[in-house]
Structure 1
Amino acid sequence: MPSPVRTQPEQSKNQLRVDGDVLPTVESATSEDHIDDKENKLDENNADYGEPDKPYSVFTHGEKRIIIFCAGVCSFLSPVSGQIYFPALNQISADLNVSYDLVNLTITTYLIMQGLAPAFIGSLSDAAGRRPAYIACFIIYMAANLGLGLQNNYAALMVLRCVQSAGSSGTVSLAQAVAADIITSAERGVYVSYMSVAPQAGPSLGPIIGGLIGQYCGWHWIFWFLLIVSGTIFVPVALFFPETCRKVVDDGSVPPPKWNRCLTNAIRERRAIREGHTIPWEGREELARARSHIRKLPNPWESLKIVFTKQAGFIMLYAAIVVCGYYAVASLIPSQFGQIYGFNEIQIALCYLPFGFGSLLAGLVRGRFIDSRYRVHAKRRGLPLEKNRNVDLSNFPIERARLEVAIPTLAMAAAAEIGFGWMVQAHVNLAGPLIFLFVIGFCASASVNVVQVLLVDTFPGKAGSATAANNLMRCWFGAGVTSGVIPMINKIGIGWTTTFFALLPVLFSPILWYVMVNGPKWRKEYREKNEQKAAKKQAKADVAGEKGIQGKS
């Protein structure tokens, strides 16, 4: 994986430049607090990193595409691990001698952990880098799959599925964070949509793979299969995936700490040294920077704090409400299609294909619409449209530019969910529900893509934590829906159940207008509040420094 090294002939080796300011070296600094203060300033000012007059990232267009593709493949593990399990529920229930409801409860706990774990992983990646977080996720995930392949106990199944969820779910927030590291707002829609192609294939491929393996090899082999796939992905990621976190490598030109370098980093740096180039920020400054990141432990409160910010909380709440309909439809298919159409595991699994194809198509085409609306608003305000240049979004209506694209698909998704539910209840020909499943998959995925892009735009310095916060809301709402949809169907029927979940986004749609009108003001207030906090912190540090000097004298 490419990781460019940029020479800096004008910068002294004893200086460290962050966001245009020169920081003192380790020799001249009294402590590492000054470095931490500068990084906090980068984090909290809520602006894209980098200077407007230089490229946002040194990675080329081709290199960005490779990095984004790899991040997308890694995030494939989370949805496929959840969906691959569905067709084997009846078989697991019989083998472990527990009720179907108890086995279905493992799906709920999986979703709960899927929402919680990224809060830790996102915080870790924002502080220490993306590579360490990826490696931690893969190790946890592979260990869980090994245990699941060996166990024959319901309690072990419940616990290990939670561990499996913890390992796989972090890759989703990491993928969004990587996109924020190397992609500007002007081109973010296309790249994020391309990156979502692999994970959005999970809902269709997972059930098919799970159904085939469960029927011919037994349900234990589902987890052996996931272990093999994750190991195959992990090896090239560990060897070649470059560090992209802007706190660690800036625009990609700064070498990460030695413990965080991939094989490509080492090869390029040795080649640069042989050719007589100067590697920027090499030496003691780099070690000080590394120490300042290593000592920061994962802080899940960063994600929870984002949930309660106005500029993110309202839109994440609405996105979670939208996803409720998606989860309701997906979770009712195994039981209802088995009863109504008499399908076995493989036939049920094949019914998820339209779902997945719709999501796949959304990933391929949605990004261009997102970026086109951004260009329209940028031209109205005279903003530059260079794709690799940073643009100040402080006074830009990014909420309107993004959410305008989602409104048509939200309306279509609601209509399709209502139609799907009543057709299944009426036992119509299977072709009708499958067509509506395709529409639901496309519209729901396209709408979620918009929210993901908007969150990265709003919190560029905390993309991992922001995506984790969104994942927390989405998965916990989904867990509630998954556990409650079958009892609702037993009480009021399939048609009224899907109608209820479809009308929720319509009922709460004024939230979109509220966010579009007030979003720029909220972002400004948030930035000013953090600037005041940073100023107070710096003032305290200055006073402490003066007291220290006086004490020595």
Structure 2
Amino acid sequence: MAERDRETATAEQIANNGNDIEKSSSNEEVPASNNGPPPAHQEQFSVFTVNQKRAIVSLGSLAAFFSPLSSSIYFPALDTIAKALGVSISQIDLTVTTYLIMQGIAPTLIAGFSDRAGRRPAYFICFTIYIAANLGLSLQNSYAALMVLRCLQSGGSSGTVALANGLVGDMITSAERGSYIAFASLGSMLGPSLSPIIGGILSQYLNWHWLFWFLLIFSGTFFIVLLLFLPETCRKIVGDGSIPPPPLNTSLTDVIRHRRRERQGIQVDQEKLVELRKNYRFRFPSPVPTLRVIMDLETSVILLTTGLLFAVFYAVMTGATSSFQNIYEFNDIQTGLMYLPIGAGGVVSAFTTGRIVDWNFRRHAKRAGLTVVKNVRQDITNFNIERVRLEVALPLYYFSNVMVLIYGWLMERKVNLAAPIILLFFNGWALMATSQVLNALMVDLWPGNSAAATAANNLFRCELGAAASAAITPMTNAMGTGWAYTTLTLISVAASPSFLVIMKHGIKWRQNRWRKQNAAKN
């Protein structure tokens, strides 16, 4: 920001010294006016610089990588594990189902906790549980232990997905959210892409137990990095990032950053510090904040429709192992390579969707007379953010379902391998792009509870995905691959008109909810 936009001598000193930390003492997002440019004194939403935001979001996203990693690394070895434990493939499929069930439930507990106690304590809880579960899985040799410990593993890793989006909500405004999609989605993109290959290699050349030894070593190493370098970002703890966190929330980077600010003469706002500490306390994780999100009419419609789309996706992921091994006679490594196109499509979507999302926001903002200011939150109370996001998401939603429909029938016809590979790539691209846009919308609708909103989204996705994962093998056996995937896609498409209803009426529902929330606070 130019010096003429600075209002205090301290801020001018920072500018003259070339420091890229922007001053702000606000705990809440500051709205930009709908009526022309904002005044010069308007405070920044976050003191973190662009590079710092990207680094923080990327680190949180890599932490979220362990959830899809733990799920997908398992797929190429399903048949191998079934034979080793002397159980059927349907019984092993149940371990996938229970993993997804817990993957949906666990974030509902940790998300609300992180929105109040901070992101770092929540990460500590998640990784402690996850590392312990991986140790147990590495040592066990029974189906019952596998089932129970996989649930525990899921419970530890899945909370990190909600926390990653919580980091985005802490630092990024609606107008800039699309630009950070690639960084926020990095973990979820790499998971489906890389983990099946890793799983295939480990189960083929070593032993299926090494799937969990690998996760144990990898997660333990990453946990150390996370503890040292991830700063606290929760706005109820550190405001815009200018307030030092409590000792239990402090990282090495927090210490260095605030000592540097102190040397530069930047004083901590003591009134804001006292106000934030007044409400700071650790509470036992509760699902209540997430349940409040789910009970909202507009949000529940979005969650249900998104969940059905992901149910189709999880059916493809679960059924692909048996399909490629039975039809093309692939081994574990070759089967793992077949998941690569899905992840590759997701990576491409991460670096293309954000531009479209931000462009559509600016286009509608210009029409509405809403001034877009970098690092200053726009007041979207009277702005149809639902239409802005869903105009991008809805075509992608249909495209993803069409790709799965065609994939199912081609697999039944046992066509050349190139065809399903291409379809899996485009399905991964469309599915991940849809997910990214809808995640951004959820954070827009719940700006003060972004982690809880993501947990609610995760709950619907995982529970419906668990049902689809359990059903896909019996459905395929009963009606064939083509009709099995046709049935699932028709159910998904049947729910899509609800998006059109939200585009028209969602803004009124949101305004009523925000009005009630403001009345309750007052």
TM-score normalised to the size of structure 2? 0.91
* 1:426-465 residue CA offsets vs partner (Å, 9 max, x unmatched): 1111111111111111111111111100000000100010
* 1:284-340 residue CA offsets vs partner (Å, 9 max, x unmatched): x84774463324332202112211201211111110111122112111111121111
SS in 2 for 1:461: coil
1:131 counterpart = 2:112: no
Query: What pairs with 1:391-430 in structure 2 (closer than 5 Å)?
Result: 391-430=378-417
1:242 counterpart = 2:247: no
SS in 1 for 2:375: coil
* 1:479-511 residue CA offsets vs partner (Å, 9 max, x unmatched): 000000111111111001111122223222210
Partner of 1:103 in structure 2?
Answer: 92
2:311–2:466 contact (8 Å) kept in structure 1: no
Partner of 2:197 in structure 1?
Answer: 208
1:300 counterpart = 2:287: yes
Query: Offset of 1:8 from its aligned partner?
Result: 9.9
Q: Which has the larger radius of gyration?
A: 1
Q: Which runs of 5+ in 1 are unaligned?
A: 1-5, 11-17, 21-41, 43-47, 536-553
Q: Which runs of 5+ in 2 are unaligned?
A: 1-6, 12-23, 33-41
Partner of 1:50 in structure 2?
Answer: 30
Distance in 2, Cα, partners of 1:229 & 1:7: 46
Query: Offset of 1:82 from its aligned partner?
Result: 0.1
2:29–2:376 contact (8 Å) kept in structure 1: no
1:143 counterpart = 2:132: yes
Distance in 2, Cα, partners of 1:100 & 1:293: 48
Query: What pairs with 1:402-481 in structure 2 (closer than 5 Å)?
Result: 402-481=389-468
1:364 counterpart = 2:351: yes
Partner of 1:334 in structure 2?
Answer: 321
**Aligned pairs, how many?**
495
Q: Select the residue among 289, 294, 309 that pairs with 1:322.
A: 309
Partner of 2:179 in structure 1?
Answer: 190
Q: Counterpart amino acid of 1:267? A: I
Partner of 2:18 in structure 1?
Answer: none
SS in 1 for 2:279: helix
Q: Counterpart amino acid of 2:305? A: Y
Query: What pairs with 1:55-74 in structure 2 (closer than 5 Å)?
Result: 55-74=44-63
Distance in 1, Cα, partners of 2:67 & 2:139: 21
Q: Counterpart amino acid of 2:29? A: Y
2:238–2:276 contact (8 Å) kept in structure 1: no
2:118–2:234 contact (8 Å) kept in structure 1: yes
Query: What pairs with 1:150-229 in structure 2 (closer than 5 Å)?
Result: 150-229=139-218
Query: Offset of 1:239 from its aligned partner?
Result: 0.8
* 1:404-424 residue CA offsets vs partner (Å, 9 max, x unmatched): 001222222122111111111
Distance in 1, Cα, partners of 2:155 & 2:112: 14
* 1:254-276 residue CA offsets vs partner (Å, 9 max, x unmatched): 11112211112223334444565
Partner of 1:23 in structure 2?
Answer: none
1:49–1:461 contact (8 Å) kept in structure 2: no
Distance in 2, Cα, partners of 1:441 & 1:277: 47
Distance in 2, Cα, partners of 1:376 & 1:489: 45
SS in 1 for 2:488: helix
1:257–1:286 contact (8 Å) kept in structure 2: no
Q: Percent identity?
A: 46
2:25–2:240 contact (8 Å) kept in structure 1: no
Query: Offset of 1:281 from its aligned partner?
Result: 2.7
SS in 2 for 1:460: coil
Distance in 2, Cα, partners of 1:295 & 1:475: 28
Distance in 1, Cα, partners of 2:104 & 2:186: 21
* 1:100-122 residue CA offsets vs partner (Å, 9 max, x unmatched): 22221111000000000001110
* 1:222-254 residue CA offsets vs partner (Å, 9 max, x unmatched): 111111111221112101111101111111111
1:19–1:51 contact (8 Å) kept in structure 2: no
Query: Offset of 1:97 from its aligned partner?
Result: 2.1
Distance in 2, Cα, partners of 1:209 & 1:350: 9
* 1:376-412 residue CA offsets vs partner (Å, 9 max, x unmatched): 1100011111121111111110000000001222222
C-alpha distance 480-215 of structure 1, shift in aligned 2 (>3 A): same
Q: Select the residue among 222, 232, 237 that pairs with 1:233.
A: 222
Partner of 1:91 in structure 2?
Answer: 80
TM-score normalised to the size of structure 1? 0.86
C-alpha distance 146-7 of structure 1, shift in aligned 2 (>3 A): farther
Query: Offset of 1:79 from its aligned partner?
Result: 0.4
SS in 1 for 2:326: helix
Distance in 2, Cα, partners of 1:382 & 1:289: 34
1:327–1:482 contact (8 Å) kept in structure 2: yes
Query: Offset of 1:425 from its aligned partner?
Result: 0.3
Distance in 2, Cα, partners of 1:302 & 1:447: 25
Query: Offset of 1:9 from its aligned partner?
Result: 7.7
Distance in 2, Cα, partners of 1:131 & 1:233: 14
Query: Offset of 1:19 from its aligned partner?
Result: 8.8
